[in-house]
Amino acid sequence: MATDIGSDPILEIVGANKVFQRAKADDVWALKDVSLSVRRGEFVTIVGPSGCGKSTLLTAIAGLSRLSSGSMRVNGVEVKKPGADRSVVFQHASLLPWRTVRKNIAYGMEMQRSPGKSERRKRANWAMELVGLTGFADSYPSQLSGGMKQRANLARALATQPALLLMDEPFGALDAMTKGRLQVEVSRISQETSQTVLFVTHDIDEALLLADRVVVMASRPGRISKIVEVRRPRPRQEDFVESPEFIALRRELRLSIHGMDSDGAGTGVPAEVADATA
Ligand SMILES: Nc1ncnc2c1ncn2[C@@H]1O[C@H](COP(=O)(O)OP(=O)(O)OP(=O)(O)O)[C@@H](O)[C@H]1O
Ligand SMILES: [Mg+2]
């Protein structure tokens, strides 16, 4: 099934700058002149070396930190603080240990003071079913595996039905097998719910497997260096990873990020070093 992507942007970033001032050291340009539009229903991944500003960008979109200058709009409204139109999933599941899975999922909706109690219950059930946690509704976080905790975290975010789901390396702390399973699930869920997603990762294969577009960032200053389109319909099957299209895209991304292709051959100059000396 082809991905149903609207033409209207959910997210519009224009000329975003974020500068961190440091005592007795040069300022850090975590973001410099970053512009990006994300359309309704689109799945966009962001890759780049450590420290290139991926989390800074996501945190600003979430409204958890302010830009130094530039503009960010979600559904046409300037981002000034966190809001019900955005939900964030971080690397470590931030579940409340004294609440069951069901009540943790309800918590996200309670924080937004909407919807009513019976609708919250319905949505929690819907979200638990989506992520495959229905049998664990009454379990506490300490009774869940790492993968299940991240499923609950995702369900909590989905239950608020955000216009934009923001994910910052959500599977970064999981073992390879659990990570692979959750990638497939996120791909299916985003497709089923037409959820617009902005997903940060440093895993190129993950970025390609999930995305309609992969945004590549470079560091010093943090900026967008390339955007690659992945035309294969979502959700993608395992065979996509072995396709010539995937292998060519992976090579292109590796060269762009590390200055190195999939066989380890390349310019010999890592992109970060090349950036710093440019
Ligand atoms: N609160 C802060 N104060 C000062 N500098 C900061 C702050 N937060 C981030 N930075 C700097 O901004 C730059 C971008 O950091 P950011 O965390 O966005 O990188 P990242 O791409 O998410 O890296 P990683 O892949 O390691 O998570 C880095 O140089 C970092 O040191
Ligand atoms: Mg980060």
Q: pLDDT of 236-263, one tens digit each?
A: 877 899 999 999 999 999 999 987 654 4
Q: What is the reported pLDDT for 265?
A: 47
Question: Taking the domains of the chain in order of start, what are their residue ranges?
Answer: 9-85+162-277, 91-161
CATH class of the domain at 9-85+162-277: alpha beta
- Tell me which amino acid residue 242 is: E
Whole-number Å distance, alpha carbon 227 to ligand 1 midpoint, is: 21
Tell me which residues have their CB closer than 6 angstroms to ligand 1: 20, 28, 30, 48, 50-56, 202, 222
Name the strand (E) or helix (H) holding 266: none
Place of tokens 């599977």: 171
Dist. CA 161 → ligand 2 center (Å):
24
pLDDT < 70 stretches in the chain:
1-6, 260-278
Ligand 1 centre to CA of 48 (Å) is: 12
Per-residue pLDDT of 133-164, as tens digits, reads 999 999 999 999 999 999 999 999 999 999 99
Do the Cβ atoms of 18 and 56 come closer than 8 Å? yes
By residue count, the chain amounts to: 278
Residue 24 exposed, middle or buried by CB count within 10 Å (0-12, 13-18, 19+) = exposed
Q: Are 224 and 34 in contact, with CB atoms under 8 Å apart? A: yes
Q: Is the peptide bond before 97 cis (omega within 30 degrees of 0)?
A: no
Closest ligand to Cα 53: 1
